[in-house]
Amino acid sequence: MILIKGGRLVLPEGIMEADLLIEGEKIAKIGKPLSPKKAQVINASGRLVFPGAIDAHVHFRDPEDTTKEDFSTGSASALAGGVTTVIDMPNYRNPPTTTIAAYNQKRIIAATKARCDYQLRFGGSEKNAEEAARSGAPSLKIFLSETRSELTVSHSAAVQHFATFPAHKPVCVHAEDKERIENRRKRFKLQSEIQDKLSAQLACEFSLREAAKLNRRVHICHLTTGLEIEMCRRYKNATYEITPSHLFLSTADLKRLGQLGRINPPLRDKAEQAALWRNLGKDTIIASDHAPHLITHKLDGAPGFPGVGTIFPLLLDAASKRRIRACDIARWCAENPAGAFYLKNKGRLAEGFDADLVIVNMKKKWKITAENRLSKCGWTPFEGKEIVGKIEKVFLRGKLAFDGEIVLSKPGMGRELL
């Protein structure tokens, strides 16, 4: 038994000063004061205790491209950043996770390498709707625009996936309109002009409309405009995510980032970034879209930023500046993703839930570096950024998984969530 004593527990509804008792893998009791006989006591006084973050959008690059990341390094980066559960994406080439065989291969790889808990997403391709539905996978990802694998689907194949994949399971959409982008590529040079806001909004509108006709669950990935949030709110079976990349960076950062600043969908201007902040609400999910590439690939134009290790720190810093509340982090990074992706007994500090906890000292400052974020890709767009709020301990199902310096959880300790 482990007793987390004297901390301030962060719930979406508010902060609760209480002790928390861990028995085995679970939160056994929350109350004040708790004094069980034989527990190991962790003094959390003056600390915030959060539920472990759930990052519903990561690309850990297994099995295709493990020079940039793999399940072991990706999940180490997650834990060092207070993320105890991730959902991994299927957009790989060799093989793409678009067949049941590839999906099962990935399950074995993840089971041997993962240090944190995880769920795997199936990939939709032009012709695999029936196989995707049969796979039993908890969610599906489709791309309406170009990506580095065969996951790009036409509108008609997207509709087929919407109709065939079990209606209560989320179909997650990378919503950018391929035709519009291809046309604009002939006329514009800048990525933000080619993949403009309307390209995203049109694809978002298409996805929501078609999903609504079928009364099915749909999830819009990494949306980048205020209007898309408003559109998602009009349809009750839709959820959406925003990335810290689009919240904390804008086209104004491209000068500094150069080629490293390329990401899909692209960074938007400051006005649109402000619209995202204004629209954050009770239904928001924040997910990193952790998309690591080596610097050499970035210089060749690869889109994407590492992010699983910075999602929680950036939000803690925003809370320290009173831009958001600590409670919002518990809602956006734990409770809401657990709800959207049916992660049982995850995402909340409550009796009977998994003891996934993050203990934070809001009085400590530190600096983000690629080195302390542990991703194999070796860079971060937030290099050198000063953060208020130090993650001192992370527990995964009752076990100390990160002690503030070192990741203690070993490959294979993560568990698949179905």
- Can you give the binding site for Zn ion, defined by CB under 5 A? 174, 289, 293, 297, 302
Which of ligand NCD, Zn ion, none does residue 303 bind to, with CB < 5 to 8 Å depending on kind? ligand NCD
- CB-side neighbour CA atoms (13 Å) of 384: 1
Which of Zn ion, ligand NCD, none does residue 147 bind to, with CB < 5 to 8 Å depending on kind? ligand NCD
Residue 54, φ and ψ in degrees, nearest 5: -115, 115
Range 48-77, binding ligand NCD (CB under 6 A): 59
Residue 218, φ and ψ in degrees, nearest 5: -140, 145
Which of 170, 303, 307, 398 binds ligand NCD (CB under 6 A)? It is: 303
Is 218 near ligand NCD (CB under 6 A)? no
Is 260 near ligand NCD (CB under 6 A)? no
Per this entry, what is the length of the chain? 418
Tokens matching residue 318: 């925003």
The minimum distance between CB 246 and ligand NCD, in angstroms, equals: 11
300 tagged catalytic: no
Is 393 near ligand NCD (CB under 6 A)? no
C-beta of 69 vs 335, nearer to Zn ion = 69
The minimum distance between CB 314 and ligand NCD, in angstroms, equals: 17
Residue among 223, 336, 245, 337 nearest 292 (CA): 245
Is 298 near ligand NCD (CB under 6 A)? no
Which of 84, 125, 139, 264 binds ligand NCD (CB under 6 A)? It is: 264
Please, what's the largest Cα pairwise distance for the chain?
72
Which of 261, 304, 307, 337 binds ligand NCD (CB under 6 A)? It is: 304
Catalytic pick from 65, 117, 289, 356? 289
C-beta of 90 vs 389, nearer to Zn ion = 90
What stretch of H or E contains 311?
A: helix 311-320
Which residues have C-beta within 8 Å of that of residue 178, sequence separation ≥ 6?
144, 145, 146, 152
Ordered DSSP codes for 20-68: EEEETTEEEEEESS---SSPEEEE-TT-EEEEPEEEEEE---TTT-TTT
Which of 5, 47, 68, 174 binds ligand NCD (CB under 6 A)? It is: 174
The minimum distance between CB 393 and ligand NCD, in angstroms, equals: 31
Is 261 near ligand NCD (CB under 6 A)? no
Q: How far apart are CA 125 and CA 161, in angstroms?
A: 9
Burial of 256 (0-12, 13-18, 19+ CB in 10 A): exposed
Give contact residues for ligand NCD (rule: CB under 6 A).
Answer: 59, 91, 147, 174, 263-264, 289, 291, 303-304
Task: Return the active site residues.
Answer: 289
